[in-house]
Amino acid sequence: MNYKNYVNSLKALSDENRLKIIELVSDKTLCACDLLDHFNFTQPTLSHHMKVLEDAGIVTSYREGKWKHYSLNKEFASGFFENTKQLLSSGSECVCDYEKE
């Protein structure tokens, strides 16, 4: 497990608005304008949240006209799930036995 990347993901996920954004884009691609309908904040605030999520590799985006469209990065989701499962498992392997990354 790459602990640095995992911590960056946790930091990005540590905001309730970003968690709601992830839930909204988990099964479909949404335009920023559609995401804004679910929140009581401005477009620049949404852009900030989306940049954090994109930088962490949690969401992907593409631009169409003046709007960006966002979706959940499925590779991130499966990798994060596996890392969390590994971290919380009660297996016999000690974290000190893993190779340093």
The tens digit of pLDDT for each residue in 49-73 reads 999 999 999 999 999 998 899 999 9
Nearest to 69 by CA among 24, 31, 19: 31
**What whole-number distance in Å separates Cα of residue 27 and Cα of residue 41?**
23
Q: Name the token pair of 96.
A: 């000190």
Most confident of the following: 4-8, 20-24, 78-82, 91-95: 20-24
Instruction: Write down all domains in the chain, each with its CATH number in brackets.
Output: 3-97 (1.10.10.10)
pTM, entire model:
0.82
Instruction: Using CB atoms within 10 Å of the CB of residue 87, give its burial: 0 to 12 exposed, 13 to 18 middle, 19+ buried.
Output: exposed
